[in-house]
Amino acid sequence: MRRVAVTGLGVVSALGVGREAHVAGLREGRCGVGQLSIANVDRLSVTIGAPASGFVGEERFGKSELALLDRTTQLALTAAAEAVAQSGLEVDEALAPRAGVAIGTALTGMETVDANYRAVYEEKKNRVHPFVVPRLMTNAGASQISMAHGLTGPAWTVSTACSSSNHAIGQAFHLIRSGGADVMLAGGAEAPLVFGVIKAWEGLRVMSKDGCRPFCETRNGMVQGEGAAVLVLEEWDRAARRGAPILAELAGFSMTADAGDIVTPSAEGAARAIRGALLDARLAPEDVGYINAHGTATAANDRTECAAIRSAFGAAAETVSVSSTKSMHGHCLGGAGAVEMAAVVLALSEGVIAPTVGLVRQDPACDLDVTPITARERRVDAALSNSFAFGGLNAVLAARRA
């Protein structure tokens, strides 16, 4: 089978705009969670989040472009441009039909939805902007990226709640490995920090009012974040021939469904996805040095994930390093797995395990090495990235050091 290289990475998150700013935040264990300043925040019981506050669309796009671009798509385009620049990728007439894009998102266009619902229902306007539909359609990010970079090959959007971007990256990986494409831009984006979205999530009673503390006995829920990340995935030999920077090798992917409860996770479903990714990558549990956990800081998710890791890893669970970077950049929903791949690349390329910050006292039911508070140095030859979504949709990626 063909090997798949990661030759570019772009990120926008609460830790900063750009890959280097985001990675610096991971190394430092810096928390991007803070008080929100959005319309009607006084009507919310949850008033914290992890916005990409350094990102200002008006500084990056012209007025005519902004008319077509929701904030979610702006984030996706920015991350994709950085990834392509790092990879040195040039899409010519020959490559274009063999190059595509897969983007994951759960709630795309929420800024546009919120603003236009206000216009129609609150302000009693009878018309909305003619570009509302192109702004909020779920495939906006994938379509805009394909046009920006001249990608005429496979292009699609994946929406599987919080596993969306892992599903997108995994499907793009399999497409290249099987010969269906040579290059794919793959990742995810989300900009959910608007009144309507947060008010809806409040109803689920899974949101924290004071911070994100995965695996901590004092945790009380997740914190929403916004962000985007895009990887350039490339057939290995092609990347090597052109001298591209190879950040890591994407080596395996697995997806499963719990087929159980719409919100309660299943340890067995998650464990099957972990085992499947190891099998697909031809890795043994003891080969894996790091797992970027889904780690949402809800009791059900954290405990279920730890049980799944123990089930899939057996004795190797005692030695693998685990962390949840959501403690720093929040839960980016459909963009989460893509943003978190930056921590996987950091571990593989630099031997730095990003920490789980905010941990006061570790939950005895989460008795793994969860890398509390500060980053740790460790050689990592292989790593996993877990995403486990509402609806019981699980997606696990496996990567190797280049």
Active-site residue identified among 212, 216, 331, 332: 331
Is the Cβ–Cβ distance between 252 and 281 less than 8 Å? Answer: yes
Is the Cβ–Cβ distance between 54 and 45 less than 8 Å? Answer: no
Q: At what angle do helices 19-28 and 336-350 cross, to 10 degrees?
A: 70
Q: How is 131-171 classified by DSSP, letter by letter?
A: THHHHHSTTHHHHHHHHHHT--S-EEEE-BTBTHHHHHHHH
How big is the CA angle at 27 (ends 22 and 28), to the nearest 5 degrees? 95
3-class SS of residue 3: coil
- Residue 266 — φ and ψ, nearest 5°? -115, 125
Is 366 among the catalytic positions? no
Alpha carbon of residue 62 to chain centroid: 27
Is the Cβ–Cβ distance between 183 and 89 less than 8 Å? Answer: yes
The pair of three-digit structure tokens given for residue 271, joined into one six-digit string: 């464990």
Is the Cβ–Cβ distance between 76 and 164 less than 8 Å? Answer: no
Is 212 among the catalytic positions? no
For 77-93, letters b (16+ CB in 10 Å) and e give bbbbbbbbebbebebee
Active-site residue identified among 162, 212, 306, 366: 162
3-class SS of residue 347: helix
Active-site residue identified among 22, 167, 294, 329: 294
Is the Cβ–Cβ distance between 135 and 365 less than 8 Å? Answer: no
Is 331 among the catalytic positions? yes
CA 316/CA 311 separation, integer angstroms: 10
* Beta strand spans in 308-391 (E): 321-323, 352-353, 376-377, 382-389
Residue carrying structure tokens 């109803």 = 203
CA 326/CA 312 separation, integer angstroms: 23
Catalytic residue positions? 162, 294, 331
